[in-house]
Amino acid sequence: MKGTMNFLQMNPEWTRKPAKAEIMDDQVVITTEKGTDLWQRTYYGFSNDNAPILQTRTSEKYFSFIVKTHFESTERFDQCGVAMYLDSDNWFKASIEYENDKFQRLGSVVTNHGYSDWATTDISSDIKEMWYRFSRRESDYCIECSADGINFRQMRIFHMWEGAGEITFGIYACSPTIGSYNAVFSDMRVMECQWTADGEWRAKE
């Protein structure tokens, strides 16, 4: 992929349109609804597949997607971030999930063939903004986060078994318990892949 594109000019569409959302030239605001979430089976034994996601389609094998999130979540598990939703059994999401007024969980979920995993690290609940960079190299993916949109740090590398062809990716927000808040997304850009291939960084050593 060459150059940089505005995500909102790539004809994104809703996977489950929320009751209230506003799409502007440079940002999206989703008002979450209680009882919305994404999870499949593992540990908890339930499936929840009703979170709204705004996604675009691509067959591009190498790219990066950057987005800034702002949130004022107050209820447990409130979350907003990036997602790649292929179908109910195959998807990925990364976000900050609110826990209480002391800490929240920065993490990601990868769901392959109907089973989710969840990798997290605890951060302060004072944090109300986070940048994400989601990158693709064929059927392998990388998610990174940043406090300033400049210096990104890796959260995880993962493989999607059904993620080798055309995919859909974008943004999501939800409130699994009783919450409802405004999740604000801005600075959404798709660009040449920023995730260096393994052979490229080894060659520099």
Task: Output the pLDDT for position 2.
Answer: 82
Domain residue spans of the chain: 4-203
Q: For residue 28, what are the β-bridge partners?
A: 23, 185
Average pLDDT, the chain: 95
Task: Output the pLDDT for position 198.
Answer: 79
pTM greater than 0.85: yes
Per CATH, the number for 4-203 is 2.60.120.200
Q: Is the pLDDT of residue 50 over 90?
A: yes
> Where are the extended beta strands (E) located within 59-181?
62-71, 79-87, 90-98, 103-112, 115-124, 129-137, 140-146, 153-159, 167-174
